Amino acid sequence: MDYLSDERKKSDFDVEAMKVAWAGSIQEFQLSDRMAKLVANDPVFEKFTRPMLGRKELLKNTLRKSAHAWKLIIDLRLSEEEAKWLRLYVDEPAYTDLHWGMFIPAIEGQGTEEQKKKWLPLAKKMQIIGCYAQTELGHGSNVQGLETTATFDTRTDEFIMHSPTLTSSKWWPGGLGKLSTHAVVYARLIVGGQFHGVHGFIVQLRSLEDHSPLPGITVGDIGLKFGNGAYNTMDNGVLRFDHVRIPRNQMLMRVSQVTKEGKIMQSDVPRQLIYGTMVYVRQTIVADASKALSRAVCIATRYSAVRRQFGSRDGGPETQVIDYKTQQSRLFPLLASAYAFRFVSEWLKSLYLDVKQRLEANEFSTLPEAHACTAGLKSLTTTATADGIEECRKLCGGHGYLVSSGLPELFAVYIPACTYEGDNVVLMLQVARFLVKTVSELGHKKPVGTTAYMGRVASLMQKNSAVQTGKLIFMIKTQTCFLYVTNQ
Amino acid sequence: MDYLSDERKKSDFDVEAMKVAWAGSIQEFQLSDRMAKLVANDPVFEKFTRPMLGRKELLKNTLRKSAHAWKLIIDLRLSEEEAKWLRLYVDEPAYTDLHWGMFIPAIEGQGTEEQKKKWLPLAKKMQIIGCYAQTELGHGSNVQGLETTATFDTRTDEFIMHSPTLTSSKWWPGGLGKLSTHAVVYARLIVGGQFHGVHGFIVQLRSLEDHSPLPGITVGDIGLKFGNGAYNTMDNGVLRFDHVRIPRNQMLMRVSQVTKEGKIMQSDVPRQLIYGTMVYVRQTIVADASKALSRAVCIATRYSAVRRQFGSRDGGPETQVIDYKTQQSRLFPLLASAYAFRFVSEWLKSLYLDVKQRLEANEFSTLPEAHACTAGLKSLTTTATADGIEECRKLCGGHGYLVSSGLPELFAVYIPACTYEGDNVVLMLQVARFLVKTVSELGHKKPVGTTAYMGRVASLMQKNSAVQTGKLIFMIKTQTCFLYVTNQ
């Protein structure tokens, strides 16, 4: 008996309309659906055997998939949007994520026109493979504390990249361990013996002939990570420099420049642009949270409909576990959260577009509030999603502990989101600081966006609610709603 | 610079006394310490490479370690207590856990004198390897819903073991997949076409000559579980019977007997003995919770002392993250919980001994309360420990995501404790039911043990506390305290 189709028949909403609401528009639904089918029907992208592969075979498998995806993108002339969806459905952390998601955007955002003209065509044709080398063994959240140095040598017009301590080793960059040929390396700029802040530098790591590390460069893989397949398809790496020289024009100079005489110049490009990029990246993390949580909820919901336990009368079938209140009170808030995270990520996208327009017009007043919104929502949604996936696993009883349920791998591959791009606890402290600052400035500064209500606090305090009971209504068509439901 | 020894010097309690308090007595400390060193200094027990091994090599490695441990136990004439500690420090889920922890105790608890005389020597010399086949694909918590049948055939004086449906397949038993030769199988006893409850049966699964499955028996491994090494060293299995015949005297008959004429008899052994075993097993789970949580807390505490981030002044070292309140408020309650779980497990042990004595004297009045205590504490401590290990992992930032931190494997190997021996949510419902029943019976039944205060509810309600402020004092010497500290 097919319990699932029975359950599906009971739905009292328009499932096709919901698909479109989830995707954002009929066009976006069709695009993503087309790419999903392309991947699902291609045997190269099979992922069933992944958790059984040894580490070496895992990495080879990833290389095979990436190369095949790249071939498809070229052969089928896929747009960048289509390629993004294709990579998403391949559903495997890979060096290409960092190449397309961090290395190229770093050059686009921080490179001069000349630098973009030189490096982007190479990168976009994948004639070079890039990674993003920021985090060090000793420094994650405290970017200003990075220890790698880039010392300018006026005599040769070069920077000398160096790792002065063990803790200055670059540690974690995805794609670095085995595959990248180049990296954007963040280092302390030293000119004339003076420290001039942390900046990005394009550094070649490996030979384009035989892929061996260049002189002065020590590079390797940092070892196994949580889970069977999970992030072990990614070659997160360690990197050390022993006085490696690069030409001056490989410092990313859109914002700050070093002249060949060793002078530091600032362009009129606002530094705040970096925050714009942060808003963008964190908005995609919120969108990814909804995707990951919805997958876990989908597995747990289907299991709860099929699984029966207790309550049999007269030899009849037992009760579906989805009909138990203890199951519902744990599962349904997560289902609601997955939708809420989806729609709030759309709102964040519009917030980003607004911030971007304002930045281009040199208008920075809404940036702190936008930054606080994305920091807070990144922290909230990734924490809830990581915990929610594990809760879904427990909702599948013993079966959730098997890799074949899909949940252990989903958890293992998702949880770094609580740490990367801003540790969730550190981000919440930033939000708290912003809120306290906003309140303390109320007298002379008008609060904006989500904090605008604070400007009306005096009148709000005088209003009393006459509401006696409440009912939570979930509006699927108003995609801009910000709704977070918990069972606490 | 050795930051750890610096921190250790600051301790204001007697570390040696604490070791003894934790162990329970100086004798227990010395015993466990001797076994710890025996394992640590033996290269066969090396576990560093475990997460890197493929599944087949993992299982071979486990066999090698088990055989070596067995040889040591015999060669060194270790006591049962010493052998238990040795297996604990080998620190690897293995078929031997089920052989010693479930198969042998099941025969000891549910077998007749004759059955014990026949089977225990074989098992204790490991001439047979046993597992515990209760859970089925379709039934976990609902033991009464098990579908495997044991039908008595009076003509041949045999039981016919059969798996009538797909969902009746035995699913999960550790040691079943590849290694066990025998199993205690739980099945519906059918005599004369009538159902007479679920009982245990000793069934041979594999040939003692060539280890191949016996006729009518289909057996295999259920596949990968959460984590790299973790529980993948265990051959959890699937088992189906196609009308497999066993002699009548292989039903465990201490409580109920089937005569050769097909009559069901009850001995005067109280059924409540089974609950005594439950209390025992769950008490060991609470003790294990404290061990697992203390390992995680130990790693996170050491990391927090060594890791430095932000707060550098004048080029001096940054602040140790253990000095941040955000780190302390997450870490220290877990540290306190690890101690509290240790001491409450000692209290549970004394509760079990008390219950056992009473059962032997046919005194059952305290059993429901003891059962509720162990169910509640099993649920509370395993949930807090599973969440606590993951919190400790997050407290180590990105580094906690590396298998080399030890935390991913500890989490993956620990979390089944939330599901096995009573799902934590189901157990909490049982505790709630007990409490409600206790309250509803207050008029005519005197509440006992931890609920005794309910008998004084009238006088308690008239007392008002004059306390204005509170201070939590942690008494390490009164090992019977029940203390649970959270930061909520």
Give chain B positions within 8 Å (CB) of A138: 308
Residue whose entry in the numeric block shows the structure tokens 């110049």: A265
Q: Which of B318, B369, B421, B441 is catalytic?
A: B421
What is the tens place of the pLDDT at every residue in A406-417?
A: 999 999 999 999
Distance from CA of A408 to the nearest CA of B (A): 5
Average pLDDT of chain B is 92
Inter-chain contact A419–B403, Cβ cutoff 8 Å? Answer: no
Query: What pLDDT score was predicted for residue A167?
Result: 95
d(CA B136, CA B139): 5
pLDDT at A474 over 70: no
d(CA B375, CA B275): 11
What is the tens place of the pLDDT at every residue in A277-310?
A: 788 889 999 999 999 999 999 999 999 999 998 8
Instruction: Please name every residue paired with A206 in a beta bridge, in sequence order, or none if there are none.
Output: A213
Q: Which two tokens stand for residue A149?
A: 């140095």
Write the residue in B172, B228, B425 that is nearest to A228 by C-beta.
B228
Residue B325, CB-side half-sphere exposure with 13 Å CA sphere: 2
pLDDT at A136 over 90: yes
Instruction: Decide if B80 is catalytic.
Output: no
Distance from CA of A424 to the nearest CA of B (A): 10
* Residues contacting residue B373 through CB under 8 Å, at least 6 positions apart: B348, B351, B449, B450
Query: What pLDDT score was predicted for residue B476?
Result: 43
Whether B55 and chain A come into contact, CB under 8 Å, resolves to: yes
Q: Which of B313, B259, B310, B249 is nearest to B107 (CA)?
A: B249
Inter-chain contact B225–A418, Cβ cutoff 8 Å? Answer: no
What is the tens place of the pLDDT at every residue in B298-320?
A: 999 999 999 998 887 777 889 99
> Chain-centre distance of CA B120, in angstroms?
22
Dihedral sign, Cα of residue A258, residue A259, residue A262, residue A268 = negative
d(CA A169, CA A240): 5
Q: Which two tokens stand for residue B107?
A: 């025969």
d(CA A150, CA B264): 86
If you measure CA to CA, which chain B residue comes closest to A316?
A: B145
For residue A171, give the H/E element and its range.
strand A170-171
Give chain A positions within 8 Å (CB) of B403: 223-226
Distance from CA of A27 to the nearest CA of B (A): 38
Give this complex's ipTM: 0.91
Using alpha carbons only, what angle is made at residue B422 by residues B271 and B90, rounded to the nearest 5 degrees?
A: 105
Q: Which two tokens stand for residue A309?
A: 């336990």
For residues B204 and B241, is the Cβ–Cβ distance under 8 A?
Answer: no
* CB proximity under 8 Å: B 144-163 to A: 145
Angle between helices A15-23 and A26-40 (to 10 degrees): 90
What's the 3-state SS for A319-379? CEHHHCHHHHHHHHHHHHHHHHHHHHHHHHHHHHHHHHHHHHCCCCCCHHHHHHHHHHHHH
d(CA B439, CA B451): 9
Q: Which of A426, A291, A427, A321 is nearest to A371 (CA)?
A: A427
Residue whose entry in the numeric block shows the structure tokens 């955002």: A109
Whether A408 and chain B come into contact, CB under 8 Å, resolves to: yes
Q: Where are the beta strands (DSSP E) in A339-392?
A: none
d(CA B276, CA B97): 20
Q: How far apart are the first and last CA of chain B?
A: 36
Query: What pLDDT score was predicted for residue B475?
Result: 45
For residues B152 and B248, is the Cβ–Cβ distance under 8 A?
Answer: yes
Residue A140 is classified by DSSP as S
What is the tens place of the pLDDT at every residue in A52-72?
A: 888 889 999 999 999 999 999
Residue A352, CB-side half-sphere exposure with 13 Å CA sphere: 20
* Domain architecture of chain B: domains with CATH: 11-92 (1.10.540.10), 129-266 (2.40.110.10), 273-460 (1.20.140.10)
d(CA B478, CA B346): 11
Comparing A250 with B279, the larger pLDDT belongs to A250
What is the tens place of the pLDDT at every residue in A301-327?
A: 999 999 998 887 777 889 999 999 999
Residue whose entry in the numeric block shows the structure tokens 């027990």: B45
Comparing B475 with B410, the larger pLDDT belongs to B410
Residue whose entry in the numeric block shows the structure tokens 């803790």: A167
Distance from CA of B79 to the nearest CA of A (A): 34
d(CA B228, CA B52): 7
In chain B, % of residues over pLDDT 90? 80
Q: Which two tokens stand for residue A261?
A: 């005489």
DSSP for A398-435, please give it: GGGGBGGGSHHHHHHHHGGGGTTTS-HHHHHHHHHHHH
d(CA A313, CA A304): 20
Inter-chain contact A318–B142, Cβ cutoff 8 Å? Answer: yes
For residues A431 and A437, is the Cβ–Cβ distance under 8 A?
Answer: no
Mean pLDDT, residues A247-262 taken together: 96
Q: Which two tokens stand for residue A282?
A: 């964190």
d(CA B395, CA A399): 29
**Burial of A311 from C-beta contacts in 10 A (0-12 / 13-18 / 19+):** middle
d(CA A137, CA B399): 9
d(CA A391, CA A279): 29
Inter-chain contact A145–B227, Cβ cutoff 8 Å? Answer: no
Inter-chain contact A412–B408, Cβ cutoff 8 Å? Answer: yes
Residue A161: strand, helix, or coil: strand
Residue A276 is classified by DSSP as H
Q: Which of A281, A276, A256 is nearest to A359 (CA)?
A: A276
* CB proximity under 8 Å: B 179-238 to A: 222-228, 231
List phi, psi (to 5°) of B295: -65, -45
Residue B254 is classified by DSSP as S
If you measure CA to CA, which chain B residue comes closest to A420?
A: B398
CA distances from B65 to B47, B61, B71 (A): 10, 6, 10
Dihedral sign, Cα of residue B448, residue B453, residue B456, residue B458 = negative
What is the tens place of the pLDDT at every residue in A444-462?
A: 999 999 999 999 988 888 8
Using alpha carbons only, what angle is made at residue B313 by residues B307 and B315, rounded to the nearest 5 degrees?
A: 80
> Chain-centre distance of CA A40, in angstroms?
23
Q: Which of B65, B59, B76, B66 is nearest to B43 (CA)?
A: B65
For residues B150 and B161, is the Cβ–Cβ distance under 8 A?
Answer: yes
For residues B152 and B257, is the Cβ–Cβ distance under 8 A?
Answer: no
For residues A422 and A239, is the Cβ–Cβ distance under 8 A?
Answer: no
What is the tens place of the pLDDT at every residue in B14-49?
A: 999 999 999 999 999 999 999 999 999 999 999 888
What is the tens place of the pLDDT at every residue in B103-127?
A: 999 999 999 999 999 999 999 999 9
For residues A338 and A297, is the Cβ–Cβ distance under 8 A?
Answer: yes
For residues A108 and A80, is the Cβ–Cβ distance under 8 A?
Answer: no
If you measure CA to CA, which chain A residue comes closest to B326?
A: A425
Write the residue in A135, A171, A401 that is nearest to B416 by C-beta.
A401
Write the residue in A224, A401, A404 that is nearest to B419 by C-beta.
A401
d(CA B136, CA B240): 10
Ramachandran sector of residue B106 (left: φ over 0; alpha: ψ -120 to 50; beta: rest): alpha
Q: Which of A49, A31, A29, A33 is nearest to A41 (CA)?
A: A33
If you measure CA to CA, which chain A residue comes closest to B398?
A: A419
Mean pLDDT, residues A384-394 taken together: 97
Query: What pLDDT score was predicted for residue A476?
Result: 43
Give chain A positions within 8 Å (CB) of B330: 425
Residue whose entry in the numeric block shows the structure tokens 């061996």: A212
Give the strand order in the sheet containing A217-221.
Answer: A170-171, A237-241, A217-221
Mean pLDDT, residues B211-229 taken together: 95
d(CA B97, CA B174): 8
d(CA A318, CA B165): 15
Q: Which two tokens stand for residue B405?
A: 């931190």
Query: What pLDDT score was predicted for residue A316?
Result: 80
Residue whose entry in the numeric block shows the structure tokens 């029943």: B437
Average pLDDT of chain A is 92
Q: Which amino acid is at B109?
A: G
Q: Which of A76, A257, A251 is nearest to A160 (CA)?
A: A251
Residue A252: strand, helix, or coil: coil
Q: How many CB atoms lie within 10 A of CB B336?
A: 18
Strands B182-191 and B149-153: parallel
**Burial of B220 from C-beta contacts in 10 A (0-12 / 13-18 / 19+):** middle
Query: What pLDDT score was predicted for residue B246?
Result: 98
Q: A5-19, B81-95, B199-213: which has the highest mean pLDDT? A: B199-213
Residue A476 is classified by DSSP as S
Distance from CA of A352 to the nearest CA of B (A): 27
Q: Which two tokens stand for residue B1?
A: 């610079």
